Amino acid sequence: MFNPAEGGVVTEGGALLIESIFTDTGGMAIQVPMDAEAYAAADAAAAEALAEANEAEEAARAAAVEAQMAQLAAASPDADEATIAAAEEAQAAADEAAADVAAFLQAVAAAEAEKAAQAATVTVSADGTQMQIKDASGFTATSITTDVGVTITMDQEPIEIAMENLAVGAVQKAITTGGETLIARKASGDDELPVYYNEDGTVATKADGQPYTVEDLVALTLVFED
């Protein structure tokens, strides 16, 4: 089911498989629940929190209008003590209503965070060139697409797994914490991790002469072939 104004959902047998919504910047956020029941419960809690926040905002607006009207009455030259006291009470009620809104909005944020924690999430920019990814294990990554390739900045553990799984003879372009571009390559099946080379083919070393390790990497680059 898809709504061009809001997004859509994909279900199977009544279970939610994928939920997508448009972002404020024109992109799209896609969530894939890790546990359908837990995600549904978190989604219901988030919806309830949002409804309560909306009600609180309406009440706050009404209280603010009432306070303004009371202040106008109290500002009249012939206003008596009761009118002035009523204005003070109305203002106090408006302040309290505004504080309630802040509390409800915090509850909405917490509920949305719990919902997000129950799913793998991909957020795509409006032009499709940037993606933010959180997988089912909680690892995060950000990818940026250019005319020549895709650079993916990711957490350390996924980078380590990628380097361990690099096929013998295959090459992988990587970016270090200092911004240097390296080429990772395994020479034989006995290599648990690759050796890192400069783009000119020489073995890459850090300023202190020590070889680069996987801990020095922050991003991988996938180069488009001509």
Residue 172 lies in a domain: yes
For the stretch 76-116, pLDDT in tens is: 988 899 999 999 999 999 999 999 999 999 999 999 888 87
Report yes or no on 163 lying in a domain.
yes
Please say which residue of 64, 85, 117 terminates a domain: 117
Question: Is 144 domain-assigned?
Answer: yes
Mean pLDDT of 138-149: 86
Q: What is the pLDDT of residues 172-208, one digit of tens each?
A: 999 999 999 999 999 888 888 899 999 999 999 999 9
Greatest mean pLDDT range, 21-35, 84-98, 211-225: 84-98
- Give the separation between CA 153 and CA 162, rounded to whole angstroms: 13
Domain final position from 59, 87, 117? 117
219 and 143 fall within a common domain: yes
Evaluate if residue 17 carries a pLDDT over 70.
Answer: no
Q: Is 201 inside any structural domain?
A: yes
What percentage of the chain has pLDDT greater than the value 70?
Answer: 91
User: What is the average pLDDT value for the chain, to the nearest integer?
Assistant: 85
Same domain, residue pair 97 and 152:
no
Residue 95 falls inside a structural domain: yes
Average pLDDT, integer, range 132-146: 84
Q: Same domain, yes or no, for 143 and 216? A: yes
Q: Is residue 167 included in any domain, yes or no?
A: yes
Name the domain boundary from 85, 117, 149. 117
Number of structural domains found in the chain: 2
Which two tokens mark 162? 């990628």
Q: Looking at residue 1, what is its pLDDT? A: 40
pLDDT of residue 11: 47
Regarding whether 111 and 49 lie in a shared domain, the answer is yes
Whole-prediction pTM value? 0.54
Structural domain harbouring 169: 139-223
Give yes or no: residues 109 and 143 share one domain. Answer: no
